[in-house]
Amino acid sequence: MASSQTFTSYPGFCSDCGSILPLLRDHGNVICYTCEKEYSVDVFGDKKIQYTIYFNSQEALAKNVDRKNQKSNEEDEGPVVDRKCPKCGNDKMSYATLQLRSADEGQTVFYTCTKCSYKETENS
């Protein structure tokens, strides 16, 4: 006599396709998401499912935000060149380049003072 089960499986797994069965609902049977075979709630046996939810503390959240802000500030700076700031006289400025005009024209260089954050542009 042929068995109707394709797999010998543990409780919580579909015996036809081997997929993990969805969790029990408040009422009704369990239906496999993959092959849509319907099982009675007895397929889970005596298993109990228990959840514990842990929330991050306010201190951990604040540290994470500080780290992200510090990292973004470091990344925003970019490469540094010897260029005098016209506002504060600092001789170091970071820069970034963009192609804002047509391809046959030069790029635009954006300079930012590492001390006072003054910004200026240069069309090269």
Lowest-confidence region among 46-60, 61-75, 77-91: 61-75
Mean pLDDT, the chain, integer: 82
Q: What is the DSSP string of 100-111?
A: -S-TTSPPEEEE
Task: Please tell me whether 1 is known to bind a ligand.
Answer: no
Is the per-residue pLDDT at 42 higher than 80?
A: no
Task: Please tell me whether 55 is known to bind a ligand.
Answer: no
Task: Please tell me whether 85 is known to bind a ligand.
Answer: yes
E-strand stretches of 4-101 = 30-31, 38-39, 80-82, 92-98
Task: Please tell me whether 44 is known to bind a ligand.
Answer: no
Convert the pLDDT of each residue in 77-121 to its tens digit: 789 999 999 999 999 999 999 888 888 888 999 999 998 989 999
As its CATH architecture, domain 58-123 has Single Sheet (2.20)
Task: Please tell me whether 14 is known to bind a ligand.
Answer: yes
What residue segments make up the domains of the chain, in order of their start? 58-123
Task: Please tell me whether 32 is known to bind a ligand.
Answer: yes
pLDDT of residue 15: 84
Q: Which of 50-59, 63-72, 104-113 has the highest mean pLDDT?
A: 104-113
